[in-house]
Structure 1
């Protein structure tokens, strides 16, 4: 009898693994199809400059998606990441404008994002308000605070050092020509892309190898069972929302650094792209399921889709319709998977 139970457990684990692998494979295949379709329609799609543009766009989506993946695995949702992105970037811009060095100013922005996440977690765990309502309230408050701090005006003239993170690159090769003008031999790997890779590896390690990651999965799979097993569920949720807020803050700093201007209106509807990336990558809105690698594939799908539609001249309004349809389809597939 014990042998039979063990065999059934192994079979179940194997089925779960193949299901997860199949979902990632299907997402990867979707990404390759999009690349083929857009490249077929426009020769410039495979250019180096366009590839770098996709990397830069995906970096912000990916950072937001990683934080949202942790929250979604717990069975929650965070609608405030776009507004927290704007607030963190605005605070960083104000600090740098006031004379604070760039690096400490950026850390301050990340701390502001983490603080917003902690507030979300406390409201959800202590006040017992649903994540949808709690983060919706934070979305409005963070956006309002960003607009109030700046008077709804952008903060400019932040200096070249502020733009290094968003516009710099590693291994950039430039050659001076005879006419005195520089020629770019290799544009380099953008710092935002390197940052995304580092954060993704760290988040994957946290979820798979550390106790907090196991607690996040346990909380989303069965909250009551996790509590009975000794998991401090409230603390786990607060940590997940804090990390989501911190990564939203980091994404805001990267975006503002690219612009070299702090814009309080940035990040509107960014939560839609982040949720889409996580769900397309296999994260279940029911909780307990999701991987960082899947979210990265989902982020690139969204980035490639937006980039290809822009190059095809599709209006931003039609893009919203298409992305919304993709989200609905991804959630429907998730429901079918959960039922099975």
Structure 2
């Protein structure tokens, strides 16, 4: 087997795993292969995928962002408090939440590029600070009573078909495509085009491949690195708003360990932890691998603790394969 064949196998390993998991769970549970369950999986995957897209860009540059779970919570409660305490319209409050995420990403970028802190330490510190602020401003209590308008983004759907039955009650004929899923697809396509079709995208890959060579070639390494952390923070803020909208309640403890899912989705999709390699399509596949794995195991009555073990083993296996590829 030559190197080209090995690269093709590694490239499509995640897709093959996704197809295999779908086939296995479709045979073990009759409810798995239904429209309703497909929409449920897509909705559950949204948070992992959005965070994973930001994580992919950061990892391609050779960095890491451990703060997205806490930034998600801070952005979500900021949007909720803007509605409840300040009486702002929901769209403006959501924008404030997203900007909070952007600010956190900007600070991460400054810590890494200007203060020269290792990305692991810089984002670990932000993880603790953001979580602490979220707990402090809410008194460690959930923010509720946000109204139906706050839940529209997370619970609304496009093309939903509802009919009135003979008993006079509404029946959902087709659940529709959830707004968060549409948002995920649009952002995935936009960031993928940015990485593959723009100068900025080429610079992101060049920084991760060889930072000194990129600098000598005229790439503004500081600006490019800052951009990836800002993008990651912005997507974390957006994810927080979407997630809190789905719950119609802002939980300051939401998003714990989400950063691990984001990094796992990127790695499973072929993003290399040493930088320079990664695609958004691969990350999307990795997110669906995690989502379908959890959904299928739930349907088969597997405990949450066993699920953690299985997903952990999957992550270890994919990182090991990545290390073998790098050694070669």
- Same fold by TM (over 0.5)? yes
The root-mean-square deviation of aligned C-alpha atoms, in Å, is: 1.4
**Partner of residue 199, structure 1:** 187
Question: Where in structure 1 are there 5+ consecutive unaligned residues?
Answer: 1-13
Picking from 278, 295, 309, the partner of 1:321 is: 309
Deviation of 1:226 after TM superposition, in Å, equals 0.3
**Partner of residue 303, structure 1:** 291
Per-residue deviation, residues 133-188 of structure 1 (Å, max 9, x unmatched): 11111111111111111111111111111111111111111111232111111111
- Give yes or no for the alignment of 1:93 onto 2:80: yes
**Partner of residue 25, structure 1:** 12
Residue correspondence of structure 1 range 216-227 to structure 2 within 5 A: 216-227=204-215
**Partner of residue 10, structure 1:** none
Secondary structure of the structure 1 residue equivalent to 2:142: coil
Per-residue deviation, residues 74-117 of structure 1 (Å, max 9, x unmatched): 00000111111111111011111121111111111111111111
**Partner of residue 325, structure 2:** 337
Contact 1:154–1:263 (Cα < 8 Å) also in 2? yes
Secondary structure of the structure 2 residue equivalent to 1:272: helix
Question: Where in structure 2 are there 5+ consecutive unaligned residues?
Answer: none
Secondary structure of the structure 2 residue equivalent to 1:231: coil
Give the stretch that moved more between structures: 18-27 or 166-175: 18-27
Contact 1:20–1:282 (Cα < 8 Å) also in 2? no
Per-residue deviation, residues 40-71 of structure 1 (Å, max 9, x unmatched): 22111112222111011111100000000000
Q: 1:155 and 1:87 mapped to 2: Cα distance? A: 12
**Partner of residue 260, structure 1:** 248
**Partner of residue 132, structure 1:** 120
Secondary structure of the structure 2 residue equivalent to 1:303: helix
TM-score by length of 2: 0.96
Deviation of 1:306 after TM superposition, in Å, equals 1.1
Picking from 262, 266, 269, the partner of 1:278 is: 266
Q: 1:145 and 1:318 mapped to 2: Cα distance? A: 33
**Partner of residue 63, structure 1:** 50
Deviation of 1:20 after TM superposition, in Å, equals 5.5
Deviation of 1:252 after TM superposition, in Å, equals 1.0
Picking from 38, 44, 57, the partner of 1:51 is: 38
Deviation of 1:24 after TM superposition, in Å, equals 3.4
Q: 1:326 and 1:15 mapped to 2: Cα distance? A: 24
**Partner of residue 244, structure 1:** 232
Q: 1:291 and 1:273 mapped to 2: Cα distance? A: 16
User: How many residues were matched structurally?
Assistant: 326
Deviation of 1:15 after TM superposition, in Å, equals 6.2
Contact 1:219–1:233 (Cα < 8 Å) also in 2? yes
**Partner of residue 169, structure 2:** 181
**Partner of residue 77, structure 1:** 64
Q: 1:296 and 1:120 mapped to 2: Cα distance? A: 24
TM-score by length of 1: 0.93
Per-residue deviation, residues 287-318 of structure 1 (Å, max 9, x unmatched): 00000000000000010011112222222222
**Partner of residue 130, structure 2:** 142
Q: 1:293 and 1:24 mapped to 2: Cα distance? A: 11
